[in-house]
A and B are shown apart, each in its own frame.
Chain A
Amino acid sequence: MRIRLAKWMALLTGILVFMMAILFALIQNQPAPSAGVPVPESVDQLRSDLQETPGISRDKIDAALGQVVYDLLGCKSCHSIAGQGNRRSPLDGAGKHLTSEEIREWILAPDKMDPNIRKPDYTFLSPDQVNLLVKYIQNLQ
């Protein structure tokens, strides 16, 4: 009976730890406060603001806007750049390994690139916003 008690205590401890791991994962994955930010409006607003600023080239504006799209979408939940974000899928050097078309495919139809992947598609973005994101990632050498 004492042995059985020890077994049960160990099992209950295991269940408790398991539940705590679930709680940990739930806390970690609460909806981000930025999730409600309307991406298109924010980007369009920023573009018009930047275009009114003298001395900034179109390329620089696009790169900056691409980064804004990346931040607003919360890409860092699954990706990291220069160690910032989730290191499971680093994007460093993506511009070297992937063509712009491949990057676009990864954003819009990831299941075509890898049928087993669990990654959302971002088809709700406007073509302009996708272009900005592609440019930003392509610049990651």
Chain B
Amino acid sequence: MEGGYIKQITWSAGAFWISTYLLLIIVPLFILLAGEQPAGGGFWWDFAMALGFAGLTMVCVQFFLTARFHGATAPFGIDIIYYFHRYLALIAFGLLLSHPAILIFRETGMARYLNPVKAPWHMTAGTLSLLFFAGIISSSLWRKQLKLEYDWWRLAHGSLATGAVILALIHIVTVGKYTGAPWKKLLWSLFILSWVFLLIYIRLIKPWFILKKPYRVVRVNAERGNTWVLTVEADGHKGMSFIPGQFAWLTLRHSPFMLKEHPFSISSSAVNPALIEFTIREFGDFTRTIKDIHPGEIAYIDGPYGAFSTSRYLSGGFVFISGGVGIAPIMGMLRTMADRHDTRPLYLFDCNRTWESVVFRDEIQALKESLDLKVVHVLEHPPGSWDGETGFLTRDILEKHLPDDRKMFHYFICGPEPMTNILEKTIYLMGVPLRRSHTEIFNLV
């Protein structure tokens, strides 16, 4: 039995959180029908109203999805919660847009409310709220094309969302047809403004706890492939207990209250929770500054997060597939297993562009001494003398190197999104059940 195995998070926990989510978005809608019911205004009228209300409840719960609650995100992995947040945002925006669209199409004279000069101010509040939501969606979908820096985007995202929800609240409470009863008005206001409490938690309480547990940078080492390894040590506390493969949000040169944090995989062994190492490739504005960080500087860590870990599964062996810096969480798992003297068979397919960009190349070689580890390097542009695998990782390559009982292993894939998607499918086609295939998605924002 592997040391450090944690109780597997079951489907029931997932089902519980999904049900809670659905209740949170549906119950407020039907509360509107409790007590004294407003007169029906025709099917399309009330359908349009219900879409507006339901869209708004979905938007309100969006705040909670990205609040990084450990219990609620653990069954799914926080990376996928961010994707869920993204898709739901599009659906909620569609519902919110249908609200005025149906009214304008079905009801005479409703288009006049789009004119801010002639419309009552509470109707203009509704229109403005929709425009704010449109701003949130477009700035998120096309952040890179718009050349919006992450920190600025994050600030705009939060501010626009706050503005949009307040305007929507003004709109529904002032129109007041369904929220006529004072208790309904109060309940809806509390529901919508619940994110104020959440905001206090995220912006004040949580950073305060993070501030109380600082870390100090021990070293910043250059790795192959434009990658830096930043090691921090707990300063005056026991560190952060995590399972290998997880990630954390890292803050450097700013107070945790500034929310200038970035998510990175932990590549160090989980055996030592006081010494944490992040492996960071230069991709954008923040990652380019890592090399300038000096030992002794203070760092803050919010974590651990993520469900991408060998410690969650009992398995006779593991297969790891990494692309580029996707090796980081896998390295964390390999190092932990080496520290725990794990004897199970392990396979690593490490995909890179060139031999010179293979991160942790020497250490991976060394790990073969202490682990039952078979390493297959797959290079897109191999050197002239290369006699290993080339091109992209395919089913043929996988089947060539894996034993016959490969379906019994758990598979961990971490790399660029297109590669992850293709290999996830490849592994499924090889007959590996979905429950044994695990992925980590880099691109959170």
Q: Which residues of A approach B to under 8 Å, CB–CB? A: 1-3, 5-7, 9-11, 13-14, 16-18, 20-22, 24-30, 32, 74, 76-78, 85-88, 114, 116-118
Q: Which residues of A contact B177 (CB under 8 A)?
A: 86-87
Q: Is the CB of A25 within 8 A of B43?
A: yes
Contact between A3 and B41, CB atoms less than 8 A apart: no
The answer to whether B95 and A2 have CB atoms under 8 Å apart is: no
> Can you report 12 residue pairs joining A to B where beta carbons are below 8 Å apart?
A2-B77, A2-B80, A10-B84, A14-B88, A17-B55, A20-B54, A21-B29, A24-B32, A25-B50, A29-B46, A88-B110, A118-B106
Which among B41, B90, B175, B434 has the greatest number of chain A C-beta atoms within 10 A? Answer: B41
B residues less than 8 Å from A76 (CB atoms): 39
Could you say which of A11, A16, A21 contacts B47, with CB atoms under 8 Å apart?
A: A21
Docked-complex contact B40 and A30, CB < 8 angstroms: yes
Is B39 a contact partner of A77 (Cβ separation < 8 A)?
yes
B45, A88: Cβ atoms closer than 8 Å: yes
By the criterion of a CB under 8 Å from any partner CB, how many residues of chain B are at the interface?
52
| B40 and A14 within 8 A (CB) | no
B425 located at the interface, meaning its Cβ lies under 8 Å from any Cβ of chain A in the complex = yes
Contact of A24 with B46 in the complex, beta carbons under 8 Å: yes
Closest to A85 in B: B39
Min Cβ gap B215→A in Å is 30
CB–CB B80/A25 < 8 A:
no
**Which residues of B23-39 are within 8 A (CB) of A?**
25-26, 29-30, 32-33, 37-39
Q: Give every chain A residue within 8 A of B198 (Cβ-Cβ).
A: none
Residue B430 is within 8 A (CB to CB) of chain A in the complex: no
Compute how far the CA of A68 lies from the CA of B248 in the bound complex, rounded to whole angstroms.
68
Flag if A24 contacts B45 (CB, 8 Å): no
3 tightest A-B CB contacts, nearest first: A10-B87, A21-B50, A14-B91
Q: Which residues of A contact B18 (CB under 8 A)?
A: 9
Q: Is the CB of B39 within 8 A of A2?
A: no
Instruction: Please state if A1 and B425 are interface contacts (CB–CB under 8 Å).
Output: yes
**How many residue pairs at the A-B interface have CB separations less than 8 Å?**
127
Bound CA–CA A111/B406 (angstroms)? 73
Interface residues of B in 59-87 (CB under 8 A from A): 77, 79-80, 83-84, 87
Chain A residues near B108 (CB-CB < 8 A): 114, 116-118
Q: In the complex, how many angstroms separate the beta carbon of A12 from the nearest chain B beta carbon?
A: 10
Interfacial residues, chain B to chain A (CB-CB below 8 A): 18, 21-22, 25-26, 29-30, 32-33, 37-47, 49-51, 54-55, 58, 77, 79-80, 83-84, 87-88, 90-91, 94-95, 106-108, 110, 175, 177, 417, 421, 424-425, 428, 434, 437, 439, 441
Which residues of chain A are within 8 angstroms of B94 by Cβ–Cβ distance?
14
CA of A116 to CA of B58 in the docked complex: distance in angstroms? 34
B47–A14 CB distance below 8 A: no
Within the assembled complex, what's the spacing in Å between the Cα atoms of A71 and B285?
A: 67
Complex Cα gap A62–B425 (Å): 77
Residues of B within 8 A of A114 (CB): 108
A6 proximity list for chain B (CB < 8 A): 80, 83-84, 87
* List of B residues within 8 angstroms of A28 by Cβ: 33, 37-38, 40-41, 46
Do the beta carbons of A21 and B33 come within 8 Å of each other? Answer: no
Given contacts A17-B54, A28-B37, contact A1 B428 (CB under 8 A): yes
Instruction: Tell me the smallest distance from the CB of B417 to a CB of chain A, in Å.
Output: 8
